[in-house]
Structure 1
Amino acid sequence: MTQNLGGPIRAYILAHKDAIQLWRTLMGPTRVFRARHVAPDSIRGSFGLTDTRNTTHGSDSVVSASREIAAFFPDFSEQRWYEEEEPQLRCGPVCYSPEGGVHYVAGTGGLGPA
């Protein structure tokens, strides 16, 4: 980590065909002043304080995402996820089990991660 963090963080791996672009749209422009004017309902437009305290981060490319996933989740295997878990997510609606900390396909009762 080369940047200072101003408090606790939550790191997520988002999975979607266009996850990077969709997340970046939800975040809004990096510069808070611009976000407040062109995307006031975005995360940064709503909650950003300054350009260096803009509340959120998102990878700008697949390469960056892979590097950042490895830094925050060293035990996570993208290849294994794509081979074993991603196909299950295409089987139907997905639910989250707070007890197990995993997502699962609805109707399976949460047996195994999805």
Structure 2
Amino acid sequence: MQVAFTRQIAVIARAGVRVIVTTHSEWVLEELGNVVGRARLADRTGEESSVVSLDARDVGVWLFEAADGVGSSTVKEIALDPDTGLYPSGFDAVARALHNEWAQVADARGDAE
């Protein structure tokens, strides 16, 4: 569902509409990396993908983090990683930590498999 949503947003953006999306979803960011990757592949091969693509210059990803002080935030742009082709947000580390905590709780309850 999130992948399909991201592709539809890319279709809208490719039509020239400025789109702003907020997310905590690693899947949205990974598909956004794929959308950009398909454009880069098309540039190299000369073949267009049947799935939507966007030039990296047309995509921006920013991370908002709580800063010291009440109600303040820092904002930093997340660049596309040239090795992985993904936007490294750090959300995956949060998902791992939550899973590990769930496993500890489930193990303590005796219902982990």
TM-score (norm 1): 0.27
Rg larger for: 2
Q: Which has the higher helix share?
A: 2
Q: Which has the higher contact order (CA 8 A, sep 6+)?
A: 2
TM-score (norm 2): 0.27
